[in-house]
Amino acid sequence: MTAIAIRPALSFVRIGFLNMLAYRARYYVGVMTYLFNVAVYYFIWRAVFRESATVVGMTLPEMITYVAVGWTIRSFYFNEIDRDIASQVQEGRLAMNLIRPVNFQTVMIFDAAGQSAFRAALFTAPIGIVVVLLFRVQPPVSLGAAGLFLLSAVLSFFLVAAINFLVGLIAIRTKSILGVLRAKYLVLELLSGLLIPTTLFPQPFRSILFASPFPHINFTPAALYLGKAAGGEAARLLLLQAGWTVVLLALGQVVWRRSRHRITIQGG
């Protein structure tokens, strides 16, 4: 993409950031929701570890850290590109993207990036601080692990954005994807390793799952943070995460080019 194409797209980052400022009530409710989720899993895992000192190679402090890190980064990478596209389809606004000088996928992802910038500064950071104080979360095992974790968290944003863009495009053909969105949230939270570590899944499903993009949304960043993946294994996981991101972004471009000919005007 040329600098000329990127420059107008960057304005959507600012728009996304400002849009988040307009929903302050949702922001406060969101903070409480994430803290509640971490607290629930904290007590669940405490009960589980009464029967065993380790579970899938993790101690209780490591598992609590895994949970806290997972929900904290989710507050950063979470976006609603799919819901936004579905809304544009139903309201008849999607056709306007055909005459814009910037690629539609770029617009949607840059807008979501602006929202994630807001979340990182005013949502993820406060949540992380409170979680650390309440649940005794361990720090990264090393500075190197911290750097790899941050890189992986950024890749998680683009990976989720790529998935959500593809899901949103379904609305062009079906007009409504409310049921799809509900199913997607449940599937991603389970298969990404957010609800339980991916290593808890039985074989051969675990191997199949690790060959998919889903564990790289949550499990990979948390594993890097805890030092459960280092050296060659860390490089392999990051390459898989980056590779899936590129593949899904490219697939999104292909599906958009084929779907835009089916756009119809809905609403007033």
pLDDT in tens, 208-255: 999 999 999 999 999 999 999 989 999 999 999 999 999 999 999 999
pLDDT score for 15: 56
3-state secondary structure of 35: helix
pLDDT digits 0-9 by tens, 245-259: 999 999 999 999 888
pLDDT digits 0-9 by tens, 152-176: 999 999 999 999 999 999 988 887 8
**% residues pLDDT > 90 (the chain):** 56
pLDDT digits 0-9 by tens, 47-69: 999 988 899 889 999 999 999 99
Q: pTM of the predicted model, to two decimals?
A: 0.87
Residues 6+ apart with CB under 8 A from 267: 90, 91, 92
pLDDT score for 254: 95
Beta strands in 140-262, from DSSP E residues, in sequence order:
none
3-state secondary structure of 58: strand
Q: Give buried/exposed letters for 95-110 (b at 16+ CB in 10 A, else e).
A: eebeeeebbbbbbbbb
CA distances for 238 relative to 95, 120, 150, 193, angstroms: 37, 21, 11, 16
Q: Tell me what the mean pLDDT of segment 90-117 comes to.
A: 82
pLDDT score for 44: 94
